[in-house]
A and B are shown apart, each in its own frame.
Chain A
Amino acid sequence: MSPWKPPSLLELSDSDLAGHLYVVVEELIDGVVGLLVSEWPGSDRDGGLHFHFDAIEVEIGVDRDELEERLSRRKVPQPIVVAADGVAAEAELKQRPVAVGDTFAVRPSQTPDSPEQIGELVDELGIGAWIESAIDITADAREEAKSAMYKALTPPVKEEVAAALLGQKEAELDR
């Protein structure tokens, strides 16, 4: 299974992606942020995000201030920045407070011998030092989660129905 490559990470090679961890903000309680750390996901036949259910997911609690300070130097997806009109948007995206559902491609400064030891390592180094680089992939991950829900609960849309809807949208845009 090839690694999942979201639109905002198209410039990264498969080997670059493999060095990243998939990190999601799951809980915020006072000054503690609950992060779920997993290995980088693979992609399914359609290129969608896919985890094997045996994949390890580790929860760690980290200091919110330290995390936000480190994330202020995060990379943000350039297509979003450009669409939102440049430098001010980039600064705003970097400075926004951490929120539940935020998702990052994180390259760690150190990798433990086993995933279960991530918590100990982060405690030792501090979350700021453990994150070597973080790319904000929240928008892509969120779309994947939404897509996974619809895929689980609804049948595929018939081709002719999709074509009609897309045709209608194009006609509205032309108007």
Chain B
Amino acid sequence: MTAVPRTTDVPADRLVGGDFLAGIDENDLVHFVLNVGDGDTQIVLLPAEDGRRRAIVVDVCAAEKLDHLVVALQKAKLLPADGQPLALIVATHPHADHISGMARFITKNAKSIGEVWEPGYFIPTKSYFTMMDALAKLDLDHTQPSSGTVRFIDQVKVTVLAPGVSLKNRYDSYGIDPNNSSIALKLDFPARRYYARNEDGSVEKLPDGASLVLGADAQTLSWAQVFVDFPQLAEEKTAVAEALNKARGVNHLKANVFKVPHHASKHGLNLELVEEIKPAVSLVSSVGGGGSYNFPHRVSLEALREGLEQTTKKEKPRSEDFELGIHFTFGKDTANKDLGSIAVVLGPTGRKHDVWRFGDGSSKDIDLTSARKFG
């Protein structure tokens, strides 16, 4: 199942140096996926509220690298240094490649953290014990959420897609794989859809804004539950359907940005999921054809590609991954330069979804001033 993604030769001329910081508007959300090798470390800068941004951290495999990025973001005035700018820390599930740096990070940044989420799945590893030990010493709000949990943070609605309750109730018997305890999230913004009251007394509603789905390491069992908990509504253009859609609300799973689950493992993704999300940008964190499990797996990448570009009625060759909006933390451009960590700058309408690459190796820091924009 060794994968040979075709992204390792992203044309160098598609990556153009630019001013990453200047390209960020205060209403934009910025999603960083750090190049940490075989693991996950993400930080999402939320749109500014009263001139201040807050952030959500999702998994910490590389504490020092994330810590240095947080300091750099503070120096760049993208995150305040005071208050609790790290509104939410999510340890998606207790695998070491997602939480090995969590104890160090939350201990060092305790005063800046609002609350912590983890799924409640216990496993007797060093990474888990140290994370719990660190939490025991700190007085942080803590939640073990399941599907349907919603938290509003500034302009962003954070919805927990997984784990479903039926999976959560099986933790204690080790009846499910830890990957399926993963907290998968959907972030929608702007959260408020009611804009103003019209003169006739009706409220003016806004169309859907921008969304991200962060898949953690949830696997097909968990996504099957997500489809049950968040049923997809058929898109119809009849007056009745439109009225029903207004009543029912948003399209649950559709998103502009998709953090692909489980490093594109063959158990983390299926075609139907990609078709439901239909992302403009798909992000894969992986060491690339290496590590213990040879992530990303070829069958998952093909499912991702097929979901983004159907071949049923086409005979033309498949587009390159970067043309389909698929980006990997590993790989190099055709000039043999590391692609490295990824930042997606996402505007509130979803039309702006700029992808920036930082060229850092997995053990190197991110330099915000040396980013290249994919175009």
Pairwise interchain contact A34-B292, C-beta atoms closer than 8 A: yes
Pairwise interchain contact B123-A151, C-beta atoms closer than 8 A: no
B97: min CB distance to chain A, Å:
7
Known: A34-B292, A151-B136. A145 touches B142 (CB 8 A): no
Known: A24-B125, A145-B128. A100 touches B177 (CB 8 A): yes
Of A25-33, A78-86, A125-133, A165-173, the segment with at least 4 beta carbons within 8 Å of chain B is: A25-33
Pairwise interchain contact A41-B96, C-beta atoms closer than 8 A: no
Q: What is the chain B residue whose CB lies nearest that of A27?
A: B95
Most B Cβ at <10 Å: residue of A24, A53, A99: A53
Q: What is the chain A residue whose CB lies nearest that of B38?
A: A59
Complex: A27 Cα to B97 Cα, angstroms: 11
A106 partner residues in chain B, CB cutoff 8 A:
none
User: On chain B, which size bracket covers the interface?
Assistant: 20 to 34
Most A Cβ at <10 Å: residue of B127, B134, B174, B293: B127
Contact with B along A23-61 (1 / 0, CB 8 A): 010111110101010100100000001111101010111
Complex: A151 Cα to B142 Cα, angstroms: 13
Q: What is the chain B residue whose CB lies nearest that of A24?
A: B125
Pairwise interchain contact A61-B293, C-beta atoms closer than 8 A: yes
Pairwise interchain contact A29-B126, C-beta atoms closer than 8 A: no
Contact with A along B74-114 (1 / 0, CB 8 A): 00000000000000000000011100100110010000000
B233: min CB distance to chain A, Å:
35
From B95, B97, B129, B136, give the contact of A41 (CB < 8 A).
B129
Interface residues of B in 191-231 (CB under 8 A from A): none
Contact with A along B1-14 (1 / 0, CB 8 A): 10000000000000
Pairwise interchain contact A101-B130, C-beta atoms closer than 8 A: no
Pairwise interchain contact B136-A152, C-beta atoms closer than 8 A: yes
Complex: A103 Cα to B122 Cα, angstroms: 13
Complex: A2 Cα to B290 Cα, angstroms: 38
Instruction: List 14 A-B residue pairs with CB atoms under 8 Å apart, sorted by A's residue number.
Output: A24-B123, A28-B177, A29-B293, A36-B126, A38-B126, A52-B130, A57-B127, A60-B292, A99-B174, A103-B124, A145-B122, A149-B120, A151-B136, A153-B135
Pairwise interchain contact B132-A152, C-beta atoms closer than 8 A: yes
A38 partner residues in chain B, CB cutoff 8 A:
125-126
Known: A53-B103, A57-B96, A57-B100. A26 touches B123 (CB 8 A): yes
A162: min CB distance to chain B, Å:
19
Pairwise interchain contact B123-A50, C-beta atoms closer than 8 A: no
From A30, A41, A60, give the contact of B126 (CB < 8 A).
A41
